[in-house]
Structure 1
Amino acid sequence: MKASRLPALGILAVLTLGTYCRGVVNGFVTDDHLYLLGMDAYKQFDIIRIFTTLANGIEYLPVRDLTLAVDYAMFGESAAWLHFSNYLYFLLAVFAVYFLAVELVLFTKTVRDKVDDNWSGFLPLFAASLFAVHPLNGEAANWISGRNVILGGLFFSLSALFYLKSANAGEKWYRNYLVSLGIFLLALLSKATVIILPAVLFCIMMVFSDARKRHAVRLIPFFALSLAFFFVLTEVAKQSKIIVENAVTGATGIQAKLAVASQIPYFYVGKFLFPANFTTHYVVKFSRELLSLQVVLAIFGLVALILLALTCRKRSPEVTLGILWFLISLIPVLNFFATYPVVADRYLFIPMFGLVFLSSVLLVRLGSFCGEQWRNGAAVVVVLIMIAVSCYRVGYWKDEKSIWGVTVKNSPQNIAGYVGLGAAYFNEGSYEKALEYYSKTREMNPPNVMYEIALGKYYTIKGQLDEAIKVYGQAVRKKPDSIESLYSLGEIYFNRGDFEQARGYFLKIFDSREQDHRLVAKAKQKLKTIAGGSQGDVDSLQAKLAQEPGNLSVRGELALKLDGMGLYDEALRQYLEMERQGMNRWQLQYNIANVYKKKKMFPDAANYFRLSLKANPENPDAWNNLGVVCREMREYADAIKSFEKAMAVQPLFAYAPLNLALTYQQMGDKKNADRLFAYTKDRFPELSTTVDNYMKE
């Protein structure tokens, strides 16, 4: 490292840590409780589990998980240390931005005749300073669960940095190239959105390098890694409901996605230029009509920006680099895969480099016209303003009431803030205040059952269990998939000793469309406890089976017993062994399919439902379940055929038309969804409440 770089790094360290240092007194907020707290893989420093499973049950980000395990090993589940650790990683990301800016300026030497100190000294320092203190990065820096964003950005910048070094390294290019490729792998294991790096590098090399073919070949391993991780991380995100599949797959859906994607860059540019009214959940009304004036102007502006970038390639290559970096790295967060929320401050962490780089170029240009004193004065003013806003925002993450209070203030139309505030007040024992906020969720979104769940918890705490059962029952009637309501009912009956009722509710959790890995795990544990009461029967059957391993009758009885107890892995082993020993009955295939369905192994479930229906095509349950499985796999045509077949086989089968309506709703076909909802209400009045709730979604 050149000695001349040390003062710049010192300035960046002071700016970064000085801006965020008071955040070490903040606590755990929002998703920290879901992603971080109580995770055995972190507490036990289980490296094998971290790299071979979803360590927190939701995401496969082992490098992020490894850093958390290190933190836990050093200081335990300490919010203060985890915040401080986040700030240290953020500082490293700031340093990486600085060196990346230096390298990009040197890279443009092939285009520019010379690179003076304005470009190689001032530009990287201001770009990194603005990146360090800009309030948009506050979410990633101050939120412990933003660790994946910081690490992804850090490794993204470092990988790009070393690739650029390899491009200028001559005969020994492969050293920096291999380092770049290795760091890119670390990036992929830290944050999903980094998969766009090869596209960023490819565009830079195609625009600026004379050795285009050579770089096209060198980038093949990068693209291969991106493609592999794209499939893995996308499937994980869909299973965890991080990606929400509810959009139409036809032309209308594609047009809507393009319309929204064309407007998102302007949202982020606006926040970058005017950093105010921040919130964890933005409510933005993006037009979904591709031919609307708003979208047409947005697309026209993006095309003009791209043309400007290409036009500036020789006269001002830094402008071209900034624009390309921003637009290309933004692609993963343009909501082509429907994510929640649609926009968020942390999504801009990697694309922001393009914006701070462009801002630095503009200030360098200002200095060439007005003098360095004006340039330096403008830079200081901008940085100080950003520091003031960011310092103030650090307090947002103090506790749950603080962060959700800001959300309600700045996004009063978003239900998440009221749910968060309700939970915060509930946890501190202010039940009336909590229920007041929860009641607002009913006004804003009638289908949700958060108020009923909170009221049920309140009655449970007060010991009024009959009232709690009544309220939770209302919630289940409104929303049959409500895992929390089902689990709470199961737990009440479990504590009363009514294990049959409890088992029924716990088992329903596995058929729910909702995802809550913690409650699912708790339900499994409760079912195992309940199974302890039936262990004598299981032991007896297993003893008989040990003497007669070929007795399919005994094995079938054991499998059904385990299935009914919710011990699906053990039941599945017995079912598959029966199949292996030659049993080929539709009932066995149906049972296997149902177990796969409850385990969310949908392709296997679909195969066995089809085998069962081949032997017994008059089973409406099998047709309905096949439809549900196909819908979960987004095979909508097969789902529709299956539900229609169930209705034809058994016209009084109420859930087939309801599921068919839900399928059309998930596809975005409101006309057919409303038609079938109306049919279900008319034909099956007992489902009216459930149908009304789904129609309001």
Structure 2
Amino acid sequence: MRKTWWIVILLVGIIGCPSNPTLTAIKIYRVQYYENHDQHILEKWKNLAEKETKTNPTNCLGWFFLGEAYINLGEVLSKPDTMLKGAMLVKKGFDIDSLKVLKELSVNQEGYWSVFKNVTDRLIQRGEYNTAKEFLHIAIKILPTRAENYTMAGEIALEDGDTTKALTSYRKAIDLDPKNANAYADIGSIFSNRGTVDSSKHYFSKAKDLMSGNLIRLIEMIVPDRDVNETRDPVIKASIFLEDKKEAEAKKVLGEVGIGDLEPKKRLLNNLTTLRYEMGSLLFKIGLDYFKAKDSDNAIQTFKEVLELVPKHTGARFNAGLIEYQLKRYKDAETEFRTLSATKPDDYRTWFYLGAAIAQQKRYRDAIEPFEKAMEINPKNPDIYRNLALIYSKVGEKKKAVEYYKKAQELEKGVK
């Protein structure tokens, strides 16, 4: 008997509806589908289930089987929205009679939990938190001991503004899975926002240790039998290249550590990309804590760690540049903001600080273009005009200096 990624089908009786010929036929098609994975059989199953829901709209199992068919169809067609529709139909059956549907879901708890967990996560990503709550409720009913349930519950509670409930959820996640790095990180964020520095440092540190361990283990899986200190940087670079669809470059750097064939490593490298972003997000939060505490050295070091893992992290790049500017390391600040201007050209602050860093090096004419780009993006910011006025006065263009100075004054007074 074959398997799909999400369910191992078991032959079970139709609960509560032994005399319903349509449900009996659906059951036969289900067994045939899971044995043969024939899409035509799946369509027959779906059509019969649709007929059942129209004929008996209060029959919870009709909705359950229809939802299950759509989940399978979504998998076959690689259409997440079709799977989402299936989960919603299963939920409709659950709302009619949760006990009957839970009995069906218990046939393969892990598979169904995975479906509802993924749907909940997808809804959270979309910002549909109220609907996410409903699906999470079912996921918890199916497998109440999975830590991921409570990590998602924490996210939803935070969106509701209930940090106490969020903390309870995250701590429950840690109780179930003491190596849940994301739960530690999320608790750290809550304490950071509360200004409880010692607690935030504790949880952030724990999360960082766990993620670092996961990172090392994954790198060792990609390049076994080599010192991770030698392989770490090349493997991370390979992951970045692969993310950017630069397979030749990825293959080249892996070749430096004895891996000649990229293809078998792609799945692990993609997993590493996910972990890079998770760790980058965590380190960024830690960096912000240092920044708030005016610990510039640790802040900039942490932001640079983020950029080693996620070179496109615009927040880390901006803050690194800002700290360099505050420390009067204007050349380094220029480098950061110039790099950022290529990846985030629509943020006036990038151009503003690029111009400011250049101007501080007394390269006044070079500073004009960045400030003018900042002005194009945000034409109502008086600080931009004031800086342009100063620069034009420095290069001897008094007329333009006066023009921009007056514009700055008008904007400050609210004159259009």
Q: Calculate the TM-score normalised by the size of structure 1.
A: 0.22
Report which structure shows greater RCO (CA 8 Å, sep ≥6): 1
Q: Calculate the TM-score normalised by the size of structure 2.
A: 0.35
